[in-house]
Structure 1
């Protein structure tokens, strides 16, 4: 079993590595780049992870594990507003705690395929969709588009909140925004429908 302090260090390393993989790509990120980002020597980093490939595998495995954790926390609820709200809250908390993984998961969308096809990243994305009751293999529907929009908003807003050091202050607003994106009426909103432009 990993000691809690060691686990925190490893999670910090994984998140910084994920950030660099998202920004530069795996091939252009060196072990020294990651060591510098986490404040370790190259040898110190290799003490935690024996190679860049091992580090990359650990990042992808962590993404898959976090996706499964989200599913586990909503599985007891039937599809509907309560499940959607819980899924959003759990995902916001995961995103705030792991901004590098969020950036890495967004990379295929933002860069048109970088790191796409990694089974663990695909599994994490599929788990996020399944948390909202969306089958990743099903044909696109309004619900699918709303869920993808809510997930994109969640990712971008949590990264912006993290960058601004405002994660606690922004959390309720991020949750409300994503809940609205799903078409639910949230506190303080007059309608669950988008505003109509009159002709």
Structure 2
């Protein structure tokens, strides 16, 4: 019975650590930073993960596992609106359950080509593959739409957590990201042409 509790604790540690690594980078995140974020002493954190490198490797492995699961759910669907919506739904659910890991997974997608890109590019590639995107060969409009949808997904799921409205906001987040991909929902109103652009 002790093992599921340990797995739950380790999962929480990995998610908080991933959020810090996504925001600050590996070099600027200390073991003490992660320990404080999860409510443990430094020694307590090191009991779960013997070093910062071990913690980082566990975070990346968990992110890769999630990225593979997302891709596995849509791999057999043909490219198009149905596959995009399914990928968005899965990513939103994962982001609502693991906000830190998703922040780490999606950070490189929003920093394509940047020398300061966050780690986790292998995982990001899995997520992009779920949408049928290759940053080197995908047409610019599609790439921009997918990156915009992923950035929106990351921001909106974090906001839903902050507002404690994850269940209420989930369908709106899915719809917003699907709209960003260029797939209008059935029955959705067209935007008002007189509305001021931001």
Q: How does the TM-score come out when normalised to structure 1?
A: 0.85
Task: Note if contact 1:25-1:114 (Cα within 8 Å) is conserved in structure 2.
Answer: no
Map 1:43-192 onto structure 2 (within 5 A).
Answer: 43-108=43-108, 109=110, 113-114=115-116, 116=118, 118=119, 121-191=120-190
Secondary structure of 2:137's match? coil
Alignment partners' CA distance in 1, 2:181 and 2:24: 32
Deviates more, 1:172-181 or 1:137-146: 137-146
Alignment partners' CA distance in 2, 1:195 and 1:79: 30
Unpaired stretches in structure 2, ≥5 consecutive residues? none
Which residue matches 2:33?
Answer: 33
Secondary structure of 1:190's match? coil
How far apart are 1:168 and its partner, in Å? 0.8
Task: Note if contact 2:149-2:177 (Cα within 8 Å) is conserved in structure 1.
Answer: yes
Alignment partners' CA distance in 2, 1:71 and 1:106: 14
In 2 relative to 1, CA 113–188 (structure 1 residues): closer, same or farther, beyond 3 Å?
A: farther
In 2 relative to 1, CA 80–106 (structure 1 residues): closer, same or farther, beyond 3 Å?
A: closer
Task: Note if contact 2:106-2:124 (Cα within 8 Å) is conserved in structure 1.
Answer: no
After TM superposition, the runs of 4+ consecutive aligned structure 1 residues lying more than 3 A away are: 105-110, 112-116, 194-197
Task: Note if contact 1:107-1:113 (Cα within 8 Å) is conserved in structure 2.
Answer: no
Which residue matches 1:22?
Answer: 22
Aligned Cα root-mean-square deviation (Å) = 2.3
Unpaired stretches in structure 1, ≥5 consecutive residues? none
Deviates more, 1:95-104 or 1:60-69: 95-104
In 2 relative to 1, CA 135–28 (structure 1 residues): closer, same or farther, beyond 3 Å?
A: closer
Deviates more, 1:137-146 or 1:121-130: 137-146
Alignment partners' CA distance in 2, 1:113 and 1:146: 22
In 2 relative to 1, CA 51–159 (structure 1 residues): closer, same or farther, beyond 3 Å?
A: same
How far apart are 1:23 and its partner, in Å? 3.2
Q: How does the TM-score come out when normalised to structure 2?
A: 0.86
Secondary structure of 1:3's match? helix
Secondary structure of 2:133's match? coil
